[in-house]
């Protein structure tokens, strides 16, 4: 009986270790995707990059407050966004560079009673923009 219990414990610990390793690998892949998206340059028309930023913001339910097409600047109103079970007031400012290949700079301003990282909101947008500009159209 004791040998069966030990066997079950060994199997359980092994499965837990495999699950932890898989989670670490997934976290590393996610970090790599975010870093790629944050540092990406896009050798496409500036309007296409601006369109990707605007559609990403709208897809995430941000409302555009101000857009200056000549400078590539976009700003949203404050909106309520969830993060880790709390709601946060977030405003986004984005800038598409003038020189080709174009890059995107995104800055989140977060007003919240909870400690929250603006990078979390920024990464969400960077990933969507990168996806829109690198995946083939269907």
pLDDT by residue for the chain (138 residues), tens only, comes to 667 776 666 676 676 767 777 888 888 999 999 999 999 999 998 899 999 999 999 998 899 999 998 888 999 998 888 877 777 888 999 999 988 898 999 999 888 766 677 888 899 999 999 999 998 765
Burial class (CB in 10 A: 0-12, 13-18, 19+), 103: middle
In whole angstroms, what is the distance from residue 75 CA to residue 97 CA? 15
Nearest to 38 by CA among 90, 94, 115: 94
* pTM: predicted TM-score of the whole model, two decimal places: 0.78
Question: Does 22 reside within a domain?
Answer: no
The whole domain housing 47 covers 40-134
Q: Looking at the 3D structure of the chain, how many domains does it have?
A: 1
In angstroms, the CA 109 to CA 74 distance is: 14
Q: Please give the structure tokens belonging to residue 38.
A: 């944050």
- Report if residue 6 sits inside a domain: no
Read off the CATH number of the domain in which 59 is found: 3.30.530.50
């Amino acid at each position: 009986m004791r040998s069966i219990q030990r066997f079950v414990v060994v199997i359980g610990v092994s499965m837990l270790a495999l699950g932890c390793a898989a989670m670490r690998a997934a976290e590393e892949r996610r970090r790599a995707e975010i870093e790629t998206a944050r540092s990406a340059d896009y050798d496409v028309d500036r309007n296409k990059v601006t369109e990707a930023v605007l559609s990403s913001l709208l897809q995430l339910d941000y409302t555009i407050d101000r857009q200056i097409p000549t400078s590539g600047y976009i700003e949203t109103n404050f909106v309520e966004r969830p993060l880790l079970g709390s709601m946060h007031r977030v405003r986004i400012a984005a800038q598409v560079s003038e020189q080709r290949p174009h890059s995107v700079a995104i800055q989140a301003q977060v007003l919240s009673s909870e400690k929250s990282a603006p990078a979390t909101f920024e990464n969400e947008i960077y990933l969507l923009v990168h996806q829109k500009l690198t995946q083939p159209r269907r």
